[in-house]
Structure 1
Amino acid sequence: MEVLVRFCLLLLIFLTLPSSAIAQSEVSGALAGVVFEDTDGDGRRGPGEPGLAGVVVCSRSACVQTDDGGIYEVAVEPGYRVVYVSLPDGYRAVRAYWRRVPADPFEWLVSFPLEKTPSSRAFSFIHASDTHLDEESLPRIRLLRELTEARGVDFVIITGDLIRDALRVPEETALERYELFRKEKDAFPVPVWVVPGNHENFGIERHLSGVSEDHPLYGKAMYRRFLGPTYYSFNYGGVHFVGLDTVDIADKWYYAHVDATQMSWLDEDLSMVPAETPIITFNHIPLFSAVIHGWRYYPDGGSLIEIDGREQYRHMVSNYAEVLERFVGRNYPLALGGHGHAREEILLGDRRFETRFHQTAAVVGDTGQREGMQYASGVTLYRMRDGKIEGWEFILLDEPSVPSGSVDSQS
């Protein structure tokens, strides 16, 4: 009865919105719904399917937890059209973990059906990056899919530069590439978790793309249309995984930075995670790198860019200290990144925490020499047990076995 009353009250609020609020891009308010256990997996709530309490639901920087009946209300900001759940341990999303916020506020009742899955404290996953997908590179992502099937991992993380490029191309080309990536991602036998890279930002190099800043899919909007939130979290096997968007935009250029809105979201997300819970972050441009900090391959951009009178890194997160401050006093064993097309392992011996910063190589294949280095194509497979990294293995995509001298342990 209480649930029914709450929904009726919310509906009354929506019905009293002024007619000028119908254009979603101009609307702020509260979106509501229910997160429930979908016992028959049909995507609809039926009799006896219980609401799930304590599930985190977010939209942009606002996060809430569902009540005892699985009900949530979360703030919606003008122009932001994504709402999502942080999947709890032992559940999978029946349709998707995210939804587009309906354009009409009269339809602002969005529910999430979740299905129970076997939960194990021992699991494995693949960290891949830089698939740069288009028709030419299509065999490479299918090679990754074959490896995923052969190794029997629980899920895959791909840390950005998912498509060949959207920065410098017209709308038709970018849409084709996004469609292709979504199709290939959905063909994997296990969940594939992704975050955006610099090449996913649609049209921002306007002198090359010919795209206007007023285009409705400009910048990150195209990514959100196809793939959902640019930052989010999920839980698996006793570990809290946090996907970050480390690519910011200044006029026609990208640079490595986590903005204030995302920082607010990160504070909200972590506030609902016990301090002892292991956390693994994954993002495109790395927080730390010894390989790519001095890149000079952009003749008009280079490694540094001036933002509001301050020099900022383009290829390593400029405000890394602000990000890491959020993890002080927490169990933060691993930070995953990409961007450099190179395998790299750094152990940060900070007195407040000990974190390994691992970049994996590019799936796309041989990208030639860069700064005198030539990098192999490959991915990294991690094995986890009881919230700890049991080991990892770098796997060459163009060779049948692990390269000699590769590290397959934490030592």
Structure 2
Amino acid sequence: MGTVGAGMLPISCAVPNAKDETKRKPVLRFAHVTDMHIEPGIGAEEGVKKCIDYILEKEKSIDFFVNGGDLIMDALDKTEAETEAQWAVWRKIRATYPDLKFYHCIGNHDVWGKTPHEEKYPGKAWVLKEHGMDSPYYTFESHGWQFIVLDSTQPKDDGTWYTANLDSKQRAWLEQTLKDIPSEKPVMIISHIPILGATPFLDGDNAKTGNWVVPGAWMHTDAKSLVNLFYNHKNVKVCISGHIHLVETLVYHDVHYHCSGAVCGNWWNDEPYELTNKGYALFELFEDGTHTFKYVEYDV
């Protein structure tokens, strides 16, 4: 069996009695596989298959997979041919597992930086086509839970790429979507970049100036506004993300913010990244709006 990574223990959230936990059955279970960073020639295809095979063999039945973004290594500054080579590896992987259900979240490295500017979602048309998505943000329902998938990455005001927040159109959509969801229905928010977290502070030497300086590309710059929005919708229970390649759980105003480590670990190098090894997260969701979370190192 896999080990729980980065010092983490399986987290059982808002369960009133530990004895009752063994009697409860989740309404759904899914694997959060984020930051695969696929490209040819570095062992990524074999590594991703190893991760998926491990999940299928070692875990109980999985209802679906959530791809948390940065599925390919990088398309921001790549040619069309270089970007195509990366996506071709992913297509081979998907062809190996045609029956698996994936829900996709777009990461910053999935965006093709040389895309024509007249597109509806600049840089994102290619990744949307690969995943069969009409929009980079959307919502879906499963087993009594509502899931909201956000698009974290936006161009900066000066036209360079990228910063983490919601554009005005997406923010208005999110507000209306939360209003439309019945108040008794639990909600999970999925984003590539953490909305709120501690790991962005610890990814690198961010206090070298004597002050904490967290780049706007590492955590949502509209975090406070989103926290206030979630505070007014008590059925928002969980927010999950990737991007940082580190593992954490933070609880703020009764919302659990989980950041999962990366399937690629330290970008397919053998050494862990900031003490965190290659892995995936497993979530179990319950009818009463509670959940469990664990991070599993598959490459052991």
Q: Which amino acid aligns with 1:247?
A: T
Q: 2:241 aligns with which of 337, 344, 348?
A: 337
1:164 to 2:73 alignment? yes
Moved over 6 A (4+): none
TM-score (norm 1): 0.57
Q: Identify the residue that residue 48 of structure 2 maps to in structure 1.
A: 141
Q: Which amino acid aligns with 1:386?
A: E
- In 1, Cα distance between the equivalents of 2:126 and 2:147? 24
Q: 1:193 aligns with which of 103, 113, 118?
A: 103
Q: Which amino acid aligns with 2:66?
A: I
Q: Identify the residue that residue 147 of structure 2 maps to in structure 1.
A: 241
Deviation at 1:215, TM superposition (A): 7.4
- In 1, Cα distance between the equivalents of 2:199 and 2:170? 26
Q: Give 1 or 2 for the bigger CA radius of gyration.
A: 1
Q: 1:346 aligns with which of 250, 253, 264?
A: 250
For structure 2, list consecutive stretches of 5 or more residues without a partner in the other structure.
1-24, 207-212
- In 1, Cα distance between the equivalents of 2:54 and 2:293? 15
Q: Is the 1:258–1:323 contact (alpha carbons within 8 Å) kept by the matching residues of 2?
A: no
Q: 1:379 aligns with which of 277, 280, 289?
A: 280
Deviation at 1:188, TM superposition (A): 5.2
Q: Is the 2:146–2:188 contact (alpha carbons within 8 Å) kept by the matching residues of 1?
A: yes
Partner SS state of residue 290, structure 2: strand
- In 2, Cα distance between the equivalents of 1:179 and 1:330? 42
- In 2, Cα distance between the equivalents of 1:254 and 1:369? 29
Q: Which amino acid aligns with 2:249?
A: E
Q: Identify the residue that residue 259 of structure 2 maps to in structure 1.
A: 359
Change (3 A) 1:397 1:215: farther
Partner SS state of residue 318, structure 1: coil
- In 1, Cα distance between the equivalents of 2:99 and 2:205? 37
Change (3 A) 1:182 1:269: farther
Percent of aligned pairs sharing the same letter: 23
1:173 to 2:82 alignment? yes
Q: Deviations over 1:199-232 (max 9, x none)?
A: 01112xxxxxxx3654759512222222212111
Deviation at 1:185, TM superposition (A): 3.6
Partner SS state of residue 199, structure 2: coil
- In 2, Cα distance between the equivalents of 1:388 and 1:126? 18
Partner SS state of residue 251, structure 2: strand
Change (3 A) 1:255 1:196: same
Q: Identify the residue that residue 93 of structure 2 maps to in structure 1.
A: 184
Q: Identify the residue that residue 321 of structure 1 maps to in structure 2.
A: 224
Deviation at 1:272, TM superposition (A): 2.2
Q: Which amino acid aligns with 1:274?
A: P
The residue correspondences of 1:387-398 to structure 2 (distance < 5 A) are 387-398=288-299
Partner SS state of residue 174, structure 1: helix
The residue correspondences of 1:1-400 to structure 2 (distance < 5 A) are 122-135=27-40, 136=42, 137-150=44-57, 151=59, 152-185=61-94, 187=97, 189-203=99-113, 211=114, 213-214=116-117, 219-227=123-131, 228=133, 229-250=135-156, 251-293=159-201, 295=203, 303-304=214-215, 313-327=216-230, 328-348=232-252, 350=253, 354-367=254-267, 373-399=274-300
Change (3 A) 1:146 1:321: same
- In 2, Cα distance between the equivalents of 1:316 and 1:286? 5
Change (3 A) 1:389 1:246: same
Deviation at 1:283, TM superposition (A): 0.9
- In 2, Cα distance between the equivalents of 1:134 and 1:275? 43
- In 1, Cα distance between the equivalents of 2:294 and 2:115? 44
- In 2, Cα distance between the equivalents of 1:184 and 1:369? 21
